[in-house]
Structure 1
Amino acid sequence: MIKYLVTICLMLLLYTNSALAMPPIMTTSELKPGMQGYAETVVQGAQQVSFNVEIIGVVNNGKGSSKQILARAYGPIIDETNGVIHGMSGSPVYVDGKLIGAVARAVGQDVLPYKFYITPIEEMLKIWTLPDSLAVINKSNIEKVKIPSLEEYEKNQDNYDENIDKEVEKYKSKHLATPEGQEAVKGKAQKRLEEILSGLDIETQEDKTDVDADIVQTDKIIKDLEDNSKTDVNADKLEEHISLTDFILKSLEKQNKAQASSFNNTSMMPIYVSGFNDNALNFLANNLKYKNMTPYNTGEFISAPIGNKDSDIKQNATLKAGDPVGVVMAYGDFSAGGTGTVTAVEGNKILGFGHAMTYKGNVNYFMTEADIIGSAGGILNGVKVSSFGKIIGRVNQDRFSGVGGILNEYPSSIPVRVKVKDRNLGKEETFVSKIAYDEDILPTLASSIVYASMDRTADRASYGTSKIKFTIMTDEVPEGKFERENMFYDPKDVGQFTVGELTQALYFLCTNMDKPSNILDVKVDVDFTSSRKTASIVSAIPDKEEAKPGELVNFNVTLKPYRRENVTVTIPYTIPKTQKEGQMFLEVKGGGFVQLGQVLQSGLVVTPQDIAQLSTVDRLNEIKNLNKNNEIVISPTIDVESEKDQDKAIKEAIKLSEEIGKMSKKEREEFNKNRESKISTDYVIDNFIQTSINIKK
């Protein structure tokens, strides 16, 4: 009896292994022109179908390049789809019952796609031998975080925030900032500014023809800086004021261009997304274009949204060659990824796609089931219409010859939770998605999800006024979390401004020069209205005509809110003890405006000159310490227009900048604290003025 049971067990084991084992293969050296075969794929539902394949030849471009098999597709399925279409990628191709490779791509863009390339199986098998350093999150000391099962989720969801805090405390960094006594920025400030000004290459936005007159534009300033032929303009421009938010957006555009993918695919890789309305889809598309990706809207996830009692994971999942499969970067209320076909399975390892999706090598994406809703055959560009299913594993390789993954092992991910309150509709919505940990794509996807959350809640174009508060749980800062809040107004698209600082903060964390930054959670609250809540500074009058160094002076600042009566606020200001005798000029401005020289010397924009000179913590502090758009700020300035010798005034400003650059971080913070005073308002302050007071010893 025991022998019988052992025999049955062995038979079942052998059956299971054979079902998950690789079929025999045929290499390119064995292929001959004219050989006939077939490919297996799914064009609707889960039913596999096949189409005929004729081998034309093998393309070999020499050492270092991957071989490709040129073939012709024919048969009823191909007639229906008008050739090989997006989504068939990865479909296994067999000749004489042996696997020769995977459908990769059609030939060219201007021919009917009946001829196509096959990626040889011998090239794809190399994927399984490649190192997988991202099996441990960020190459750090944090063990791989598995997505919880349904039971684990229900047990721990009430203690989620507490668990995050414990995790942060456990893995806090030991080296958190630039050590005291060491200069965060190398070199003298004047040389630093000259280097930046001579090498700055910031793309300007297209000319705006219908912009509110109250919004200060910076295109001309940036254009002047870009014009290297002007040798006498740069010094003067150090005293010009710019919109800091606009500058950050331009900086992010520059950073995106610098990181643009050099992978020369025959076309932009289609990324299927759900949850994004038209405005949000356009926003996402603009950000993904530098990643060689184009988003297309598709259906929602088959599984329930995160937070419901249905699990997002399918336990003990299996796949077989020819099945559809999803490679997903974000899932939940908003999803993003690509679908293709499984080429081969061996045990818990899979191969698919037959080409790269992002061409980023070792990756950390969700592997999901995929549901093929149908096929849209085009004359030149057909596509399978599909949606993502439940999570079944982790995609760990994204190479030229295909993608590789592991079933029933899950990637580390970052939850992004967004709460949006729309004042016009009296409506509040909460959205949750998880982003697979990928430092390159995380800032783009997180900011796009916040933008899309605003768009879906308001159900209109995102013009108006917004307040945002975001918290990033990370061990990169001593407190274990980075927080920032601000207020924005734009007559066309306030959403892009709302997410700018969040994008920049995540970008700094994801480009840490010293070590990977562990990001454990992103939480965002947005309060949103279509009303314009801006105000202009009309006047700022001191309560006394003369003052001594160290003396307190109250400035009565009159504001003109948009379509409302004037209001007056009082801002106390202490005259610096080092202030010289004579007329003291002060600047009264909205917190969103800053002198160009000041922002160029900060760590807000990454240039070849300052790479590795400021730590990630220093850069985050630059954002944290920025004045807010709804603040009125009073600080000393130079009355350049009244100076007979403008060059002297500029030199004094640069000298002061040089002295500040030599200070320690603590000294610099104390210096700035003692030189300015500010107060918060309920309005975005959209201008700046100058006032003065007479100083007597």
Structure 2
Amino acid sequence: MTKFIKIYMVSFCIIVFFPWSQAAAMPEIMGTDQIQAGMHGIAKTVIEGTTIDTFDIEITGVIDAGKDSDGRIIAIASGPVIDKTGGVLQGMSGSPVYIDDKLIGAVSGGWKEINNRTCIITPIHDMMKIWDMPDLKNKTMIQQVNLKQPPTVLSADNKTDIKTASKNTVTTTQAAVAAEKSKPLMTPLMVSGFTDAGLNLLKEKMAPYNLVPYAVGSYEGKGETVTLEPGSSVGVEVVRGDLSVAAIGTVTALDNGRVLAFGHPFLRKGNVNYFMTDAHIITTASGDNTGFKVGAPGNLVGRINQDRSAGVAGIIGRYPSVIPIQINVDDLQLNRHQTYAVQLAYDEELASSLAASVVYNAIDQTIDRAGTGTAKIEFEILTNAVDSGVIKRSNMYYSPQDVGQLSITEIYQALNLLCTNTMGETDIVGIKVNIKVDANRRTASIIEAVPEKQKVKQGETVNVKLQIKPYRKPAETLIVPYKIAKNQPAGMTTLEIRGGGLVPVAQLLMQQQGLDLSPEEDKMQPLSEKLDAFMKANKNNEIIISPAAPMLNEVQQAAAIEAAIKQSAQLDQIKPNDQVNIENKKTKLDKPEADLPAKFDTNYIIDNIIKTSIQVIGKKN
């Protein structure tokens, strides 16, 4: 973010988060070299509300987890709390485990299919290393990792193997075999404010991260001061406000405002920038092969800054960079207006998907129906990526199935351009979206195009009279001015009149024949140029008038392709510092330099292409 915004956020944090400031220090800890099978201890977690309960732990062994690790501890959970929950649940991740009042680590995994009371404990020594990881967020680009490859958790095959092992530490080979059957306690993704359709889209967007969202309600306890302590529920929230998307786990340890939790990764993205909240557990749910806490995030208490294999870490009283989004949706049939306000924790890889999901959900929730519809969307993205400081775009969409899905296309594209900029990180200061949804089909076809004059001079402007036929409505007449290019060759010229969302006929025919001569994306093109092209791109509700590309026979097509390849090879040889006259590099493919195509906004999505002819005469004539 910009320097001004950073300063503002720090000041904001001092005011807002002071009530949650905590000076809790680390308790005495015990390493795996001191842990033996048969030892007994307790673990702390919340199964309802914010009250911390305890359950019993019996150590059954320690397994090797590879280089630079203290291994993984295997234990059996028991007691009234475990009896009530039906075993170790998702959401218990991070539950601190103590032996003789010494912290040994956090519950982090288990074998639900084999024994739902057997659990894996991540050693506290491994978790504490996270605190020493560099926190460079907002100073450099986020380091990318392979999120599709789940973290490896080495563990024993089952309770019997560990108890019968002659040594306290199982061999690496045994652990590797056992790891195939063990599973980390995947942290459930709790969402609130989403419709069924919105939740389904979010599931689709989160699938690459192995996250399954569950719909839960918010709770009325927000605003109450909750002091985080070992065993408290904690939220890692990526969307906050009228809608919420958060993972719920358990606090393992605190040390002067620093927090450790989960005992396994959330997304395993390293240095991150997420909201850290307290959390309220509503209930628990358990079945034969799965179980989890049902909870909701609460008060904002800080920032999650590390997401590593051994857990997540955060800082109380610090605030993450955010992208505020305001969405206004109008349903023209219901005469309903809804406004939604959310904040996204700024993450370059998640921002596009989360923003698109949030906007889609706002549409679906407001219109409260599925099926046909037309939507007009306008959005602004405040950013330092363009000189004006704002990206503006509007468009219209029609769909017989789900107009909301189409409506989010371009806001996703714009954010993706910003978040994948190869030249550097960009600031996204805010997003505002306005959407009007009409249940009626607002499409139209062009049925006639007649120039007011059949003969025009080079550089002259001629009005083209268009007849359009809206869906189930009377025909309408439009007058669209079109300027002939100053160097348009004399003679008969074919004009193509089409909807802005349609591909020109010649280009479409070439693509159908497997010939795509469009240039590849220039990865070195400045972001500002890409965004300028995005903002100027044709719209579905525009009528475009431009000279039609000449139709080529097979011989002409072959010659054109050969010339294009030759021209490309010649241009590739031009060095940046060479003073080369590009005009001398032109070939037969060069077209006369023409003015921009005429564009005319309508209140309909134009769904076809027609042609008309006009005779161009030279100025001398």
Question: Shift of residue 659 of structure 1?
Answer: 12
Structure 1 regions of 5+ residues with no counterpart?
A: 1-15, 141-255, 305-311, 602-606, 665-670
Residue 348 of structure 2 aligns to a residue in which SS? Answer: coil
Offset from partner CA, 1:639-684 (integer Å, 9 cap, x none): 42678744346668889999999999xxxxxx98814111110001
Residue 128 of structure 2 aligns to a residue in which SS? Answer: helix
Answering whether residue 217 of structure 2 is matched by residue 289 of structure 1, we say no
Structure 2 counterparts to residues 38-117 of structure 1, below 5 A: 38-63=42-67, 67-107=71-111, 110-117=113-120
Aligned partners of 2:482 and 2:558: how far apart in 1? Answer: 29
The alignment-based identity, stated in percent, is 42
Answering whether residue 390 of structure 2 is matched by residue 472 of structure 1, we say no
Residue 49 of structure 2 aligns to a residue in which SS? Answer: coil
Offset from partner CA, 1:239-292 (integer Å, 9 cap, x none): xxxxxxxxxxxxxxxxx9x98633357587531111110011111111111233
Aligned partners of 1:272 and 1:48: how far apart in 2? Answer: 20
Structure 2 counterparts to residues 654-665 of structure 1, below 5 A: none
Distance change >3 Å, CA 87–CA 283, structure 1 → 2: same
Question: Shift of residue 23 of structure 1?
Answer: 1.3
Distance change >3 Å, CA 640–CA 500, structure 1 → 2: same
Answering whether residue 170 of structure 2 is matched by residue 261 of structure 1, we say no
Counterpart of 2:218 (choices 300, 317, 334) is 300
Offset from partner CA, 1:364-391 (integer Å, 9 cap, x none): 1111110011111221110101011111
What residue in structure 2 maps to residue 625 of structure 1? Answer: 536
Residue 640 of structure 1 aligns to a residue in which SS? Answer: coil
Equivalent AA in structure 2 for residue 483 of structure 1: K
Aligned partners of 1:394 and 1:516: how far apart in 2? Answer: 20
What residue in structure 1 maps to residue 175 of structure 2? Answer: none
Distance change >3 Å, CA 19–CA 647, structure 1 → 2: closer
Aligned partners of 2:35 and 2:593: how far apart in 1? Answer: 73
Structure 2 counterparts to residues 256-655 of structure 1, below 5 A: 261-264=148-151, 266=183, 270-300=188-218, 302=220, 318-461=227-370, 463-594=372-503, 610=521, 612-640=523-551, 645-648=556-559
Distance change >3 Å, CA 375–CA 560, structure 1 → 2: same
What residue in structure 2 maps to residue 690 of structure 1? Answer: 611
1:643–1:649: 8 Å Cα contact kept in structure 2? no
What residue in structure 1 maps to residue 29 of structure 2? Answer: 25
Question: Shift of residue 613 of structure 1?
Answer: 1.7
Aligned partners of 2:473 and 2:553: how far apart in 1? Answer: 34
Matched positions, count: 543
CA-atom RMSD, angstroms? Answer: 3.3
2:188–2:248: 8 Å Cα contact kept in structure 1? no
Equivalent AA in structure 2 for residue 634 of structure 1: I
Aligned partners of 2:610 and 2:204: how far apart in 1? Answer: 36
Counterpart of 1:34 (choices 26, 35, 38) is 38
Equivalent AA in structure 2 for residue 272 of structure 1: M
Counterpart of 1:129 (choices 132, 137, 152) is 132
Q: Of the two structures, which has the highest relative contact order with CA contacts closer than 8 Å and spacing of 6 or more?
A: 1
Distance change >3 Å, CA 543–CA 659, structure 1 → 2: farther
Question: Shift of residue 470 of structure 1?
Answer: 0.5
1:476–1:517: 8 Å Cα contact kept in structure 2? yes
TM-score (normalised: structure 2): 0.81
Counterpart of 2:599 (choices 668, 675, 678) is 678
Offset from partner CA, 1:119-152 (integer Å, 9 cap, x none): 0000000011111112xx3549xxxxxxxxxxxx
What residue in structure 2 maps to residue 144 of structure 1? Answer: none
Equivalent AA in structure 1 for residue 612 of structure 2: T
2:235–2:297: 8 Å Cα contact kept in structure 1? yes
1:89–1:102: 8 Å Cα contact kept in structure 2? yes
1:455–1:462: 8 Å Cα contact kept in structure 2? no
Aligned partners of 1:375 and 1:694: how far apart in 2? Answer: 77
Structure 2 regions of 5+ residues with no counterpart?
A: 1-19, 153-182, 512-517, 575-581, 584-591
Distance change >3 Å, CA 660–CA 415, structure 1 → 2: farther
* More divergent stretch after superposition (291-300 vs 523-532): 291-300
Equivalent AA in structure 1 for residue 335 of structure 2: G
Aligned partners of 1:527 and 1:553: how far apart in 2? Answer: 34
Distance change >3 Å, CA 655–CA 687, structure 1 → 2: farther
Distance change >3 Å, CA 19–CA 347, structure 1 → 2: closer
Question: Shift of residue 615 of structure 1?
Answer: 1.9
Offset from partner CA, 1:438-467 (integer Å, 9 cap, x none): 111111111111111111111112631001
Distance change >3 Å, CA 498–CA 659, structure 1 → 2: farther
Q: Give the strand-richer structure, 1 or 2.
A: 2
TM-score (normalised: structure 1): 0.72
Residue 115 of structure 2 aligns to a residue in which SS? Answer: coil
